[in-house]
Amino acid sequence: MNMIAKFNHAFSGVNARSLTGPLLILMILGMMVLPLPAFVLDMMFTFNIALSIMVLLVSIHTHKPLEFAVFPTVLLLTTLLRLSLNVASTRIVLMEGHTGPDAAGKVIEAFGHYLVGGNYAVGIVVFIILVVINFIVITKGAGRIAEVAARFTLDAMPGKQMAIDADLNAGLLGEEEAGRRRTVIAQEAEFYGSMDGASKFVRGDAIAGILILFINVIGGLIVGVLQHDLDMATAARNYTLLAIGDGLVAQIPALIISTAAGLVVSRVGTDEDISGQLVSQLFSRPQVLILTAAIIGLMGLIPGMPHIAFLLLAVVLGGGAYMMTQREKQATGRLAIAPAAQPEIQDASWDDVMPVDVLGLEVGYRLIALVDKAQDGELLRRIKGVRKKFAQEIGYLPPSVHIRDNLELRPNAYRITLKGVAIGAGEVNVSQYLAINPGGVSGSLPGLATSDPAFGLPAVWIEAGQRDQAQILGYTVVDPGTVVATHLNHLMHTHAAELLGRLEVQQLLDRVAKDSPKLVEDLTPKLLPLSTVQKVLQNLLDESVHIRDMRTIIDAMAEHAVRVQDPHELTALIRIALGRAIVQQIWPQSGELQVMALDAGLERLLTQALQASPNSTGIEPGLADTLMREAAGASQRQEQVGLVPVLLVPAPLRTLLARFLRRALPQLKILSHAEVPDSSNIKVTSILGARV
């Protein structure tokens, strides 16, 4: 009893669902070996038909192929089930077939006797037609679709991964969502690859069905005539009808399963199931129904044609088109807005003075759907992601983006404004995708040539059907919402200093004060006014230095504010305190720091000029031209070999050169020797001013 109790306790811990697969496979294999009575065989044939219908209905109601990811395994199990039933039925047909048409059960008798009227010639023809439909039409087509889909899915994986990485870097996706999308891409490749192989199961099943039919007929004749002393006609009639019934009862579920496979691999994934797609895309246009009704009606009027069938169908189609037209008119009438009475014009007031939005997005009327909350505008979610990513990377929460439509813009155009002034604009095609050439693509694409609004890269507007082809060729393919969001993200990073107003600075200090109230209290307003703190933070942002480490920034300000009040001098001192973070931001891998440097003679000239006029930022014109030309050439050479262009200079010269070179060469980073940690290895790749 103790052992039985332990066994029951152990068995109760096993999930019953996990036992379903092994038990089903053992049952299928057992049917091939063990003899089954006719009643059990009837139940198994009925179960096979029910299972095939369930698979078909699930295939119809799935929205995307991955919702039925177990389908390749189901295809294998159902094929194995049918073959095991064929083996079991063959055994009982050959052993008991001489007793009559119900020897192998009522299901085989019904399929062999009533469905074909007891005529084995008709049964053979029907069976062959079913096999031809299944083998040549459905299975071959579904297998070809699965093969092509598997090939294109595998080829498109690198492009899709690049698109996910681009969205992740632009702040349009979170880490969790990016991981989920990568998993979906991998599952798609595995699914279509499995479907490509699983389609061979059905193909082999169709061939096996033909062979089993003729083996049963020939074997039945031999057994009936030689073992049971039946005459040739009686043996042919009994065993042929049983063999045909056995073949039909197996091929009809096989045909249903093949149809399900074709539905799964041939459909395009949307938010609707197949029924919804058929109704919404095939029967949703009254003009199509009217033309079809007219053509069918004219055919019904031709002498010799079956008038009733054609004219009845024409009336049904015409009635359906009329009802759809009336429904559309009623919906339009409900949406019509009655003209309102003209209100009395009020005198002007301060309410008529509209404040200027810090950050705004204006769109043409064709882009309204992208930002309409009622239509679940994709761009709204992306803008939220852009603001969140900006806050995580830069260190403060940017102002909200005020979105409005502007009828003065072109229908597909948009404009990004900063304090009421346009800082960026572009056009997108709502129904197309933008294929961006990041460099090194393996071919060209037909479409409208343009350039990426954010970075100016060459691009092409393509149709949705060309998306996979573009990704295979190496293009980065993005939707219209991503184009606008990426442009907005780029401009927000570029103008991060201007977006940092006093309100944002105060909110930033208040947040730090929650954890370190004394630190903020000692800084402002005791040592520095809020305006100076704002200017220092803006200087850092102007030079692409993030302000996430506010504790270090405030510590450095409090340390030097006693003797230094100038924002630019404070910025230089704070950069030294943030040296490790600045170096890591430029060289994330923390390897060898490959930099450009100034010639010793040029350093002396610049130092003398700075000492002669400490408050001046001017450089002698000839020297300035030479310095600018050599800095531009060296920066270009650094970028060509995949290095970040960085100029390493003495600390007194850093601010002067940063102001001079920043506008013409925004990609050039200028560091002082004091900002580089002592543990860093420095390699000078080029010298500027050697010929000055």
CATH 3.40.50.300, domain 356-478, yes or no:
no
Q: pLDDT value at position 113? A: 66
- Per-residue pLDDT at 549: 92
434 and 483 Cβ atoms separated by less than 8 Å: yes
For residues 209 and 250, the answer to whether their CB atoms sit within 8 Å is yes
pLDDT recorded at residue 221: 76
CA distances from 511 to 158, 341, 519 (A): 42, 51, 12
> Between helices 140-169 and 175-222, what is the axis angle to 10°?
170
Predicted confidence band at 1 (pLDDT cuts at 50, 70, 90)? very low
Predicted model pTM: 0.56
**What is the average pLDDT across 243-269?**
74
Mean pLDDT of 639-645: 86
**The token pair that represents 660 in the structure block:** 């001079």
% the chain with pLDDT above 90? 19
Contacts of 435 (CB under 8 A, 6+ apart): 445, 447, 459, 460, 461, 462, 466, 470, 475, 476, 477
Q: What is the pLDDT of residues 11-62, one digit of tens each?
A: 444 455 666 667 777 777 777 667 777 777 778 878 888 888 888 888 777 7
Nearest to 630 by CA among 668, 579, 681, 593: 668
DSSP state of 482: H
pLDDT at 415 over 90: yes
Residue 99 or residue 652, greater confidence: 652
Residue 101 near residue 112 (C-beta atoms within 8 A): yes
Q: Which residue reads 């048409």 in tokens?
A: 101
Q: Are 90 and 215 in contact (CB under 8 A)?
A: yes
Residue 338 has pLDDT above 50, yes or no: no
Residue 268 has pLDDT above 70, yes or no: no
Give the percent of the chain with pLDDT over 70.
82
Q: Which two tokens stand for residue 618?
A: 């001017």
Q: Give the model's pLDDT for residue 97.
A: 61
User: Would you state the pLDDT for residue 33?
Assistant: 67
Helix (H, G, I), strand (E, B) or coil at 347: coil
User: Distances in Å between the alpha carbon of 366 and those of 363, 415, 431, 452, 562?
Assistant: 8, 14, 10, 19, 57
**pLDDT (0 to 100) of residue 101:** 60
Closest CA to 647 of 584, 568, 593, 572: 593
Which CATH number is correct for 587-692, 3.40.50.12790, 2.70.150.10, 1.10.3720.10, 3.40.50.10420?
3.40.50.12790
Q: Is residue 318's pLDDT more than 50?
A: yes
| pLDDT (0 to 100) of residue 117 | 63
Instruction: Check pLDDT > 80 for residue 151.
Output: no
Residues whose CB is less than 8 angstroms from the CB of residue 623 and which lie 6 or more positions away in sequence, other chains included:
602, 605, 692
User: Whole-angstrom Cα distance, residue 357 to residue 423?
Assistant: 13
Can you give the pLDDT at residue 182? 80
Measured over all CA atoms, what is the biggest interatomic distance in the chain, rounded to whole angstroms?
127
User: Could you tell me the fold of the domain covering 500-577?
Assistant: Helicase, Ruva Protein; domain 3 (1.10.8)
Q: How far is CA 307 from CA 292, 295, 303, in A?
A: 16, 13, 8
pLDDT at 384 over 80: yes
Residue 223: pLDDT above 80? no
Instruction: Report the pLDDT value the prediction gives residue 13, as an integer from 0 to 100.
Output: 45
